[in-house]
Copies of this chain bind each other. A is one copy, B any other.
Amino acid sequence: MSSEKAKNIFTDYLSKKGLRNTWQRLSILDTFLSSGGHITADELYNAVKRKHSDIGSATVHRNLKLMSECGVADEIKIGNKKTRYEQKYGHGHHDHLICTKCGKFIEVHNDKIERLQEKLAEANDFIPQRHKLEIYGLCKKCK
């Protein structure tokens, strides 16, 4: 899925809710989409600030919330560390292997697991929308 799609989802969401297209909003979205994912609110704020020094951190938070609401961004929290936001479109869905020693992130994907998760949800009278799988352990280097 391209980041074009994410942009459309976001702008559709805005117009559906009667919200407005401000340059701040679009700049935050663009910066987020080109960040490659796993960014914190503060990192995003600073990245946007580099281009537009007069952006406020509250605005970044407000829009990050909006982006989570419409599904363009996903909140992920790894262990005790800070909340990070990940792109949902633009580099495909994936799960995470997280090294408990060095903190390394490995992104993985497995269709079988995806399908089993859907089955599991349906078996419980549940309509799955999205999911999060994190496997903690030791990476190649640390084991």
Contact = CB atoms under 8 A, between A and B. Distances in A.
A124 B94 CA distance: 14
Given A97-B126, A143-B127, A108 B120 contact: yes
A-B pairs with lowest CB-CB distance, top 4: A125-B140, A128-B137, A77-B77, A131-B135
Given A97-B121, A110-B120, A120-B110, A132 B131 contact: no
Nearest to A97: B126
Contacts of A14: none
This chain: copies in complex: 2
Nearest to A143: B127
Contacts of A125: 139-140, 143
Interface of A: 65, 68, 75, 77, 79-80, 83, 95, 97, 99-100, 106, 108, 110, 112-113, 116-117, 120-121, 124-140, 143
Contact of A108 (B75, B110, B124, B136): B124
B140 A136 contact: no
Contacts of A113: 113, 116-117, 120
A105 B106 CA distance: 28
A131 B134 contact: yes
Nearest to A65: B80
A137 B126 contact: yes
Nearest to A120: B110
A138 to B, nearest CB: 4
